[in-house]
Structure 1
């Protein structure tokens, strides 16, 4: 069953001693905005865009989160906020897409071996706020996500994506047993996205 099937049992939560993942909502706008703006230089590398602009606002972020909530609830794609156990501080975000997501369908995907893009069950992007990145949170989030997708989502063919220019995240992933399976180029974006599985 595809993750976009309305009957697919999408997990609502991942809880560890250090963080909680749950679907992002418009009520998260202020906390998420603070994390986004703290991390904006890294996010611009990750996105290969000018987002977030220096004049980005909480209201603009709330508008974005309305769209993410609608997409999540409609089973098109899923966005989770990463928060501290008390739920007071936003620590980052995790995005889960099917390979058929519009931006992926428009992208050029190059296999680096015998694997087929059509066999991928979920495409995952993640980021953590700069101060928590400095403290190694992303290095602990990634294995927690891998276990979550295997155990709760019941998926075995999940890939993790970053941009080659986001060197810190590339290095993080390459310190694991994940291997580069595909390269992906989005129209109008500089740099190549590296896809690990």
Structure 2
């Protein structure tokens, strides 16, 4: 369970704005998802459906994300264009500890991330995004997480195939870390931000 009392106001920049993923944004989310088959395949390690997937299939997922967001169990956002007319991708801010526990992390790793609020952060950006968006998202997103969220720490997760995301995260003041997860069937890369408390 997250111990985040309240998430901050969604981030708004000249390149994108964040909006909590809610049922009213179903069509924008579905369109971006279906327009990005290679990105979705890389981000999900091939686990997320593509063939025959439509808004009616996406609706229960969006409702679940919105329910989690309202209950402060996990937070899912759409990256929207500044006009709010198109989705540029999706952001997930989820509690890290339950995932580590489920994936068989050792006692030392669990102890390190036990208590407080530590987030697992991942995101994908649509396939036909404009040049430079990956870098802009990584820089502004990290600043927002670092300075506005009431977190003790946060770790980004990406797959090796997400080359643009990997390159963008490698340019930030983050530490590449290795987390041994015996029950995790997929290979992930991890970046840790310095632990800090928001006043």
Q: TM-score, normalised by structure 2?
A: 0.83
> Which stretches in structure 2 are left out of the alignment for 5+ residues?
193-199
| Partners of 1:24 and 1:81 within 8 A in 2 | yes
Residue of 22, 26, 30 corresponding to 1:25: 22
Q: CA deviation at 1:188?
A: 6.1
Equivalents in 2 of 1:91, 1:188: separation in Å?
28
When the two chains are superposed, the root-mean-square deviation of aligned CA atoms in Å is: 2.6
Distance 1:195 1:188, change over 3 A: closer
Number of aligned residue pairs: 189
Contact 1:42–1:166 (Cα < 8 Å) also in 2: yes
Is 1:94–1:126's contact at 8 Å kept on the other side of the alignment?
yes
Structure 1 SS opposite 2:49: coil
Taking a change above 3 Å as real, the CA distance of residues 136 and 186 of structure 1, as seen in their structure-2 partners, is: farther
Q: 2:139 aligns with which of 122, 143, 152?
A: 143
What is the CA–CA distance in structure 2 between the aligned matches of 1:46 and 1:107, rounded to whole Å?
A: 18
Aligned equivalents of 1:186 and 1:52: distance in 2? 25
Q: Which runs of 5+ in 1 are unaligned?
A: none
Are 1:4 and 1:98, in contact at CA under 8 Å, matched by a contact in 2? yes
User: Residues 37-69 of structure 1, C-alpha deviation per residue, up to 9 Å, x if partnerless?
Assistant: 111222222111331322111111122100000
1:107-126 matches, within 5 Å, as 107-109=103-105, 116-118=112-114, 121-126=118-123
Q: 2:133, 2:41 → 1: CA distance?
A: 20
| Contact 2:7–2:150 (CA under 8 A) maintained in structure 1 | no
Q: Runs of at least 4 residues of structure 1 off by over 6 A? A: none
1:46 corresponds, among 43, 58, 62, to 43
In 2: Cα distance, 1:52 partner to 1:124 partner = 21
2:6 is aligned with 1:9: yes
Instruction: Say whether 1:173 aligns with 2:169.
Output: yes
**Secondary structure of the structure 2 residue equivalent to 1:164:** coil
Q: 1:104 to 1:49 in 2, by over 3 A?
A: farther
Normalising by the residue count of structure 1, what TM-score does the alignment of the two structures yield?
Answer: 0.83
